[in-house]
């Protein structure tokens, strides 16, 4: 799991995150990456499954947004 995602989305840094799906979409002004993770607690129990959207504008000012999809 990207440390930037953990910080930006307030995820529990003590949990383990397993990437289960990744895809990219190119639409209009945005280049978006979607990553789906399974989150496991310290005991190895599945807590939840969630998707993160990491979108960057293709043209100046090239802003970037990280959010839950």
Residue 10: pLDDT above 90? yes
Q: What angle do CA 21, 64, 67 make, to 5 degrees?
A: 50
CA gap 53, 33 in Å, rounded:
6
User: What is this structure's pTM?
Assistant: 0.91
Q: Please give the share of the chain, as a percent, with pLDDT higher than 90.
A: 97
Residue 1: pLDDT above 90? no
CA gap 56, 43 in Å, rounded:
35
pLDDT digits (tens, 9 = 90+) for 30-45: 999 999 999 999 999 9
Residue 58: pLDDT above 90? yes
């Amino acid at each position: 799991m990207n440390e930037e995602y953990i910080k930006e989305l307030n995820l529990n840094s003590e949990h383990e995150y397993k990437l289960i799906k990744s895809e990219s979409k190119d639409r209009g002004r945005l280049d978006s990456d979607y990553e789906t993770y399974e989150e496991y607690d310290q005991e190895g129990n599945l807590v939840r499954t969630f998707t993160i959207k990491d979108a960057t504008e293709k043209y100046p000012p090239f802003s970037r947004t990280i959010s839950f999809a």
